[in-house]
Amino acid sequence: MTKQELPAYWRSLVDKQAESGLSVGVFCREHNLSRDRFYYWRRRFRNQQANRICEGGFVQLVPYQKKSSAGVRIRLSDGLCIELEKGFDPVTLRGAIQVLCNTGPRPCLP
């Protein structure tokens, strides 16, 4: 595996673990991975994401397809993810984001 392929490989593993619902320990055992390396890459991706969010003050919204209804998935730092179905209530989303931003060690906006 080349140096350029390594981040994509680990990104896919970090995403799989988050979606699996398994603990890091169980996931790493099942995939024969070093927990220390897993935590290193997960921390690296989180730091990159936090820097992107806090520098510009905006979060990229990426459309995705889930079954038959299109929606949006928003990935926040610390592995948090908000998934919205088509026709979501924006007031509820605004409230959820406000709560999440106020409970972390630093606000979402600079």
Q: What angle do CA 105, 45, 108 make, to 5 degrees?
A: 35
11-24: pLDDT as tens digits: 899 889 988 888 99
Total-model pTM: 0.47
24-37: pLDDT as tens digits: 999 999 999 999 99
Residue 37, pLDDT score = 94
Q: How far is CA 55 from CA 13, 15, 45, in A?
A: 26, 23, 15
Domain ranges of the chain: 1-47, 57-110
pLDDT value at 70 more than 60: no
Q: How far is CA 91 from CA 71, 85, 88, 96, 98, in A?
A: 16, 14, 9, 9, 11
Ramachandran class of 58: left when φ > 0, alpha when ψ lies in -120 to 50, beta otherwise: beta
